Amino acid sequence: MISLVEQGDSEGNQVFTSKTGGPQDNWPLELIDNERKLNNPLKFQEDKVSVLLKHLDSQKSMGPDGIHPRVMRELVEELAKPLSIIYQQSWLSGEVPDDWKLANATPVHKKGCKEDPGNYRPVSLTLVPGKVMEQIILCVITQHLQDGQGLRPSQHGF
C-alpha cells in the first residue's frame, strides 16, 4: 500500500474490485512512507501531490471544469504547490470547494433492452483535483486500517 501524505510537520469512472485493485496499485514506490506517526495532523506535501499529478491518466475524460487531466499533468510544477495548500486548508476546515462538488452524470448501458431506463447506470465525471485529493485520503485511510490501527480483531462484518 502506498501512503501519499505524511502525518506530522486517491478520470474516476473506475470500479475497484479485488481483481482490478485501486489506482494506487500503479503508483510509484517512492510514494511509500514507512515513517507514519499516530495522532499527528495530516499533511499534504507538495512533492507527493506532484508525483500523483505526474501519474494522471491523460486518456481519461475531463470534468465539468473543462480542464483535461493531460493539461494538469503537463503543468505539474505550477499546480503542485497551490493544490497542496488547497488540500491542506480543505482538510483542516472540513470543507470542500463548491466547484469540486459538481459532476457531469452520464447514463451508461448495462445490459438488456436499451429502451428501458432501468438498464442504465449513472457515471459521474468529477473534477480531477477533487479526485486527486480523494485518492490521497483513501490511501491514508487504507494504510491506517492495514497497519492494524483502525480495526480490532474482535471487529468483523459481511
**In the prediction, which pLDDT does 150 show?**
66
Contact 55, 27 (CB under 8 A): yes
Query: What does the alpha-carbon distance between residue 157 and residue 142 come to, in Å, rounded to a whole number?
Result: 17
Q: Which residue has the cell 468529477?
A: 126
**In the prediction, which pLDDT does 85 show?**
93
**In the prediction, which pLDDT does 7 show?**
32
**In the prediction, which pLDDT does 45 show?**
84
Which residues in the chain land under pLDDT 70? 1-41, 148-151, 153, 157-158
**In the prediction, which pLDDT does 30 show?**
44
Residue extents of the structural domains in the chain: 6-146
**In the prediction, which pLDDT does 14 show?**
39
Query: What does the alpha-carbon distance between residue 128 and residue 112 come to, in Å, rounded to a whole number?
Result: 32
Residue partners of 37: CB distance under 8 A and separation at least 6? 7, 8
**In the prediction, which pLDDT does 77 show?**
92
Query: What does the alpha-carbon distance between residue 49 and residue 76 come to, in Å, rounded to a whole number?
Result: 9
C-alpha dist (Å) from residue 36 to 7, 44, 80, 143, 153 = 6, 13, 22, 10, 22
Give the three cell numbers for residue 5.
Answer: 501524505
**In the prediction, which pLDDT does 24 show?**
46
- Give CB contacts under 8 A, 24+ apart, made by 123-126: 123/13, 124/12, 124/13, 125/11, 125/12, 125/13, 125/61, 125/62, 125/63, 125/64, 126/12, 126/63, 126/64, 126/100, 126/102
**In the prediction, which pLDDT does 40 show?**
60
Query: What does the alpha-carbon distance between residue 118 and residue 67 come to, in Å, rounded to a whole number?
Result: 31
**In the prediction, which pLDDT does 6 show?**
33
